[in-house]
């Protein structure tokens, strides 16, 4: 059974939070800290903002998802958090879904910023931090945008407008939109599939990627 309890209510010291950070950023809403490759013990020191719930619908479940990624052997986690130890943004790099299981050196990237902390540049701060990793040139990064996760009302955008916003944001980091037969992406025209092919990805992995893009589980030879 999942433990849906929030972490211990004691607030980590500001010194601990600052010393644990890879980067400190000033925003109109206050100072935030960023840390890449967050270990489980660090995540357990933090709590989660109520506005982080797009993937799991409830912040408590979202926190458990983040902990599970931190605990896994292959998943990695970058966090944005406040000077009171509250998680307000995250990027996860995890194993790609089963459709892409045949593709070597592939990770699925997911990003979220709390609904209460948007339009402050936090997403770009997080992406900048993660994209500093030199080993990403050996990886294929997948980004899957599903319209049912998007909270567009607050931004005053339609789904297709938000889709364009995502495409433009990630294009500046080397992501390209690809057509794919992957069933979840095809479920809604507003969904978007993005990928970043590292400059040092092996040719065999690239071939596997292109094969999976348009494969079919129902049509022979595809």
Residue 100 confidence (pLDDT): 96
In this predicted structure, the answer to whether residue 61 has a pLDDT above a threshold of 80 is yes
The contacts of residue 116 (CB under 8 Å, 6+ apart) are 49, 50, 51, 88
Residue 54 confidence (pLDDT): 78
In tens, the pLDDT along 133-158 reads 999 999 999 999 999 888 777 777 88
Work out the pLDDT band at 4, boundaries 50, 70, 90. Answer: very low
137: phi then psi, degrees, rounded to nearest 5: -70, -15
DSSP classification of residue 97: P
Pairwise pLDDT comparison (215 vs 37), residue with the higher score: 37
Pairwise pLDDT comparison (56 vs 166), residue with the higher score: 166
Q: How far apart are CA 38 and CA 66, in angstroms?
A: 10
Q: CA geometry: angle at 162 spanning 35 and 156, to 5°?
A: 105
Contact yes or no for 145/194 (Cβ under 8 A): yes
In tens, the pLDDT along 67-85 reads 999 999 888 999 999 999 9
Query: Which residue in 77, 73, 23, 24 sits closest to 46, CA to CA?
Result: 77
Instruction: Tell me the mean pLDDT in the region 196-211.
Output: 97
pTM beyond 0.85, yes or no: yes
In tens, the pLDDT along 163-195 reads 999 999 999 999 999 999 999 999 999 999 999
In this predicted structure, the answer to whether residue 16 has a pLDDT above a threshold of 70 is yes
Percent pLDDT > 70 in the chain is: 92
The full set of domains in the chain, from first to last, is 14-213 (3.40.630.30)
């Amino acid at each position: 059974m999942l433990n849906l309890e929030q972490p211990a209510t004691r607030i980590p010291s500001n010194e601990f939070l600052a010393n644990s950070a890879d980067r400190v950023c000033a925003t109109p809403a206050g100072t935030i800290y960023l840390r890449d490759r967050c270990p489980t013990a660090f995540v357990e020191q933090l709590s989660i903002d109520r506005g982080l719930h797009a993937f799991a619908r409830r912040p408590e479940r979202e926190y458990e998802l983040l902990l599970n990624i931190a605990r896994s052997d292959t998943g990695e986690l970058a966090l944005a958090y406040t000077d009171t130890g509250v998680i307000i943004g995250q990027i996860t790099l995890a194993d790609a879904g089963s459709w892409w299981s045949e593709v070597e050196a592939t990770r699925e990237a997911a990003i979220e910023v709390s609904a209460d902390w948007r339009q402050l540049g936090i997403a770009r701060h997080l992406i900048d931090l993660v994209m500093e990793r030199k080993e990403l040139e050996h990886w294929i990064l997948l980004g899957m945008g599903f319209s049912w996760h998007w909270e567009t009302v607050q931004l005053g955008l339609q789904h297709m407008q938000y889709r364009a916003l995502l495409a433009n944001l990630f294009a500046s980091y080397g992501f390209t939109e690809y057509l794919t037969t992957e069933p979840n992406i095809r479920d809604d025209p507003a969904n978007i599939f993005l990928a970043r092919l590292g400059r040092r990805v092996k040719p065999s992995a690239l071939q596997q990627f292109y094969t999976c893009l348009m494969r079919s589980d129902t049509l022979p030879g595809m």
